[in-house]
Amino acid sequence: MKQICAVSDLHLFCKRSEAHRYTASLDRAIAEAEVCVLNGDIFDFRWSMFESVGETVHEAISWLDRIIARHPHCEFHYIFGNHDSVKVFIDALDAYAAQTERLTCHHDLFRLNGAVFLHGDVADRKMTQAEFEAARRVWHYDRQRGKVVNRAYDLAMWLGAHRTIPRLVFPRQVVAERLVHYLDHVGHGRDSGVTDVYYGHTHVAVRDFRYEGISFHNSGAPMPRLGFSILRATA
């Protein structure tokens, strides 16, 4: 059994992210863990504050390099989300991981004994693996948004849409059903011994929600007025 910490949806480099408030907490959690799972959308290429995709890639790799160096005892697993699935970053991170002993990249999920980690965008609707891969390819060439769209997003957040819409679109049981549908399809479902599923994407914090004998957990997102926590587990 290994001690694990898991976090998703930091959306680093997006000006609306408050992930900087949790830097010390994340460092403490990793210091106490043997395995750290970065469960998707750790970086946000669509809403990055940097001038170019290339600059965002550089800053993302630098962030990972620093956090891995600070924790030489820990094994890191990076699971791509949708907002960090820009192809140039995927290629750069795969190349970086190939040269970094304690970092492994996963394009869909990571399993450790009875625990499954995946970003969770397979819960946008019921998906097969082929449908998931097709949906992700759309994000490979997603473009950084400009000032006008950013102002519209700021207004939506001021109105609280970022709190109400996810809870309406992603009820816990609907999300759990869709995740189980996908996991059954890829061989990591109900008949495979899965006990816990850790996911992100919805920005709705969930802890120990039970469905079909499986416990579901979501760290939420460090955005204004949203719930967020660093998840700890043993598997």
User: What is residue 152's predicted lDDT score, i.e. its pLDDT?
Assistant: 61
Look up residue 186 and give its DSSP letter. Answer: H
pLDDT at 200 over 70: yes
Structural domain range at position 43 = 3-234
CATH number for the domain spanning 36: value is: 3.60.21
- Cα(232)–Cα(131) distance, rounded to whole angstroms? 31
pLDDT bucket at 25, cuts 50 / 70 / 90? very high
192 backbone φψ class: left, alpha, beta (φ>0; ψ -120 to 50): alpha
Q: What is the pLDDT of residue 157?
A: 67
Q: What is the DSSP letter of 38?
A: E
Length of the chain: 235
Measured between alpha carbons, how far is 7 from 93 in angstroms, rounded to an integer?
A: 18
* CB count in 10 Å sphere of residue 212: 13
If you average pLDDT over residues 100-126, what whole number do you get?
97
Is the per-residue pLDDT at 81 higher than 80? yes
> pLDDT tens across 61-74, in order?
999 999 999 999 99
If one counts the domains in the chain, the total is: 1
Q: Which two tokens stand for residue 27?
A: 């460092």
Taking 3-state DSSP, the helix, strand and coil percentages for the chain, each rounded to the nearest 5, stand at 40, 20, 35
What are residue 211's phi and psi, to 5 degrees? Answer: -155, 125
Please spell the DSSP secondary structure of 47-78, one letter per residue: TBSSSSHHHHHHHHHHHHHHHHHH-TT-EEEE
Of the candidates 225, 36, 198, 25, which has an alpha carbon nearest to the alpha carbon of residue 207?
198
Which residue has tokens 């397979």? Answer: 122
pLDDT range class, residue 53, cuts 50, 70, 90: very high
Terminal Cα distance for the chain, rounded: 5
**Looking at the predicted structure, is the pLDDT value of residue 156 above 90?**
no
